[in-house]
């Protein structure tokens, strides 16, 4: 437990400000000693830091506090707890995804993806394999997350005129979430991403390439069955744009081999290196 001065030192927010936040917006009324001294716990400090980050990002403190109160930080548990909540049915999906929106505002998007979304998808796959998550649960979650990511995608500013990047899934592949997250990151960096959607046959990739003349093409290979599809897409696109850069993500990305580039499992860095390869400053 910390007194207000210690809390101020640890969070970097002046004690007067912490008191003002409590007085004005009712932010985390702390426990008190017998004499009336405030005593904060670690959760309170975490909340202060979250509010601080939002304020630093330009939010009005009132709005920041309200947002964090509505979607209590405690409510977005770590990835494993989240999946556990889905499996047991104890998680309110509506509230959890709304909280994710606040998360996106508090932390850099790519960090949330690398440290939360991708691990979460991994756990989800495990639990699904064990039969602890039903198809309909997985569907509903995927749809909700796609909407959240779509919000980020739409709010990213694009600079037209630069190199075009085509993203989509190969025939038979419908696992959109990872790719969409990557698309959001790349688009947030200002690149012109064209998102084609799931389950697209190789010849359609050729048509898309003819229309868009992409500098790069990104897809994923979550299972072994996707590998030949990825190569087919490579052929189809290369027939139109011979020197196109092709990148691939997903569990089996390293099994595709030259000249396809594996993106790795850290999307922030992957997006960065993709931008560099295309000669675009980020």
Partner DNA sequence: CAAGGTTGGGACAAACCTTGTACAAAGTCA
Partner DNA sequence: TGACTTTGTACAAGGTTTGTCCCAACCTTG
Q: Is 15 in the site for its own copies (CB under 8 A)?
A: no
Between 38 and 148, whose beta carbon lies closer to DNA?
A: 38
Does residue 26 belong to the site contacting DNA (CB under 7 A)?
no
142 near its own copies, rule: CB under 8 A: yes
Which one of residues 43, 62, 81, 259 is an interface residue with DNA (CB under 7 A)? 62
| Shortest Å, Cβ 52 to DNA | 9
CA distance 203 to 213: 15
Q: If binding is defined by CB under 8 A, does position 187 make contact with its own copies?
A: no
Q: What burial letters (b/e) apply to 235-271, b meaning 16+ CB within 10 Å?
A: ebbbebbeebbbbbbbbbbeebeeebbbbebebbebb
- Which residues between 178 and 217 bind DNA (CB under 7 A)? none
Q: Which DSSP symbol is given to 185?
A: H
Based on the shown chain and the rule CB under 8 A, indicate whether residue 224 belongs to the binding site for its own copies.
Answer: no
**Out of 20, 151, 225, 282, the residue judged to bind its own copies by CB under 8 A:** 151
Residue 136 as a binder of its own copies (CB under 8 A): the answer is yes
Does residue 144 come out as left (phi exceeding 0), alpha (psi in the -120 to 50 range) or beta? Answer: alpha
| Angstrom distances, CA of residue 201 to CA of 37, 205, 207, 220, 272 | 66, 7, 10, 14, 28
For residue 259, state whether it binds DNA (rule: CB under 7 A): no
| Distance between CA atoms of residues 133 and 125, nearest Å | 9
Q: For its own copies, how many residues bind (rule: CB under 8 A)? A: 53
Pick from 57, 60, 155, 223: which binds DNA (CB under 7 A)? Answer: 60
Site string for DNA, 214-233 (x = CB under 7 A): --------------------
Q: Which of 1, 3, 111, 142 binds DNA (CB under 7 A)?
A: 3
What residues between 35 and 54 interact with DNA by CB under 7 A? 35-38
Of 207, 223, 235, 282, which lies in the binding site for its own copies, with binding defined by CB under 8 A? 207
Q: Which stretch binds DNA (CB under 7 A): 8-16, 74-82, 133-141, 191-199?
A: 8-16
Contacts of 269 (CB under 8 A, 6+ apart): none
Which one, of 122, 130, 118, 119, lies nearest residue 87 by Cα? 130
Residues 6+ apart with CB under 8 A from 178: 118, 121, 220, 222, 249, 250
Q: Which of 134, 65, 137, 118 is nearest to 270 (CA)?
A: 118
Residue 14 touching DNA (CB under 7 A): yes
Interatomic CA distance for residues 176 and 138, integer angstroms: 12
User: Closest distance between DNA and the C-beta of residue 256, in Å?
Assistant: 48
Q: Is the dihedral of CA 186, 182, 277, 57 positive or negative?
A: positive
Residues within the interface to DNA (CB under 7 A) = 3-6, 14-17, 19-21, 23-24, 32-38, 55, 60-63
């Amino acid at each position: 437990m910390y007194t207000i001065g210690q809390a101020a030192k640890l969070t970097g927010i002046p004690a007067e400000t912490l008191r003002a936040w409590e007085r004005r917006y009712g932010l985390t009324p702390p426990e008190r000693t017998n004499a009336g001294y405030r005593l904060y716990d670690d959760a309170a400090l975490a909340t202060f830091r979250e509010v601080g980050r939002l304020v630093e990002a330009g939010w009005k403190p009132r709005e920041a506090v309200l947002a964090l109160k509505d979607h209590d930080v405690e409510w977005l548990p770590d990835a494993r707890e989240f999946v556990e909540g889905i499996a047991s049915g104890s998680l309110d999906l509506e509230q959890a995804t709304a909280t994710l929106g606040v998360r996106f505002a508090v932390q850099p998007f790519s960090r949330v993806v690398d440290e939360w979304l991708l691990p979460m998808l991994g756990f989800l796959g495990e639990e699904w394999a064990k039969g602890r998550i039903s198809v309909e649960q997985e569907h509903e979650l995927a749809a909700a997350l796609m909407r959240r990511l779509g919000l980020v995608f739409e709010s990213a500013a694009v600079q037209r005129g630069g190199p075009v990047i085509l993203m989509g899934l190969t025939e038979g592949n419908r696992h959109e979430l990872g790719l969409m997250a990557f698309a959001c990151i790349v688009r947030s960096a200002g690149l012109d991403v064209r998102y084609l959607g799931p389950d697209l046959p190789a010849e359609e990739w050729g048509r898309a390439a003819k229309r868009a003349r992409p500098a790069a093409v990104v897809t994923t290979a979550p299972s072994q069955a996707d590998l030949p599809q990825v190569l087919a897409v490579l052929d189809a696109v290369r027939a139109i744009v011979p020197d196109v850069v092709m990148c691939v993500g997903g569990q089996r990305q390293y099994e595709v081999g030259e000249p396809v580039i594996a993106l790795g499992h850290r999307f922030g860095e992957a997006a960065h290196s993709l931008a560099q390869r295309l000669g675009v400053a980020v």
